[in-house]
Amino acid sequence: MTLAVYPGSFDPFTLGHSDILSRSLKIFDEVVIAVGVNQNKKTLFTADERVAMIEKEVSEIKLGKNNKVTVECFEGLIVDLASKHNAKSLIKGVRGPVDYDYEAQMAGMNTVMCPDLETIFLMSKPEFSFIHSSLVKQISLMGGDVTGFVSEKIKTILKTKS
């Protein structure tokens, strides 16, 4: 069984995140969605809320008979979580050059800390390349319509925070 870890803050989980997950499941049998907890980062949703939100989204994804998705929180280094799961790959969605520059630096650091861990970059599809969780939050908090950026379920959850 091939397993990969898909880390992020997922605050909230967007259609872009969902697309990267679905495409990852074509490559890997199992994906662990690792919801990052960073005490220095202000999030709209608690870690537990983000996990619950993603679990609801995952329940809607058509999984192959050999596919499995789990969601869990992590605090600390992603290489430690990957090691805990014996993962050999990290999945990173990349929307464009700015994301790539940052993620390439992170991949380099992770490779030094854990040489057997490979980072797999998946380019966003054009229709998702502009979606950014922080912008989705801002639009929602200002009363805007986030249709086309998040699922209807998450849209409803976002309204409870406005």
161 falls in which pLDDT band (50, 70, 90)?
confident
Pairing of β 30-36 and β 3-8: parallel
Proportion of the chain above pLDDT 70, given as a percent: 100
Token look-up 């397993």 returns 3
Residue of 17, 50, 92, 137 marked active site: 17
- Helix and strand counts by DSSP (H, E) for the chain: 6, 5
Is 159 annotated as catalytic?
no
Residue of 89, 124, 133, 140 marked active site: 133
36 falls in which pLDDT band (50, 70, 90)?
very high
| Sequence-separated (6 or more) residues with CB below 8 Å from residue 52 | none
Please write the tens of the pLDDT for every residue from 65-89.
889 999 999 999 999 999 999 999 9
Which residue segments constitute the domains of the chain, with CATH numbers given? 3-128 (3.40.50.620)
Task: Show the beta-strand stretches assigned E in 29-135.
Answer: 30-36, 68-74, 89-94, 118-123
Proportion of the chain above pLDDT 90, given as a percent: 88
In Å, what is the CA distance from 81 to each residue of 50, 57, 74? 18, 22, 7
Is 23 annotated as catalytic?
no
Residue of 41, 42, 62, 65 marked active site: 41
Report the pLDDT averaged over residues 34-50.
92
For residue 149, the model assigns a pLDDT of 97
- Can you give the pTM of this predicted structure? 0.94
Given a cut of 80, is residue 1 above it in pLDDT? Answer: no
Is 17 annotated as catalytic?
yes
Is 85 annotated as catalytic?
no
CA distance linking residue 139 with residue 141, whole number of Å: 6
For residue 32, the model assigns a pLDDT of 98
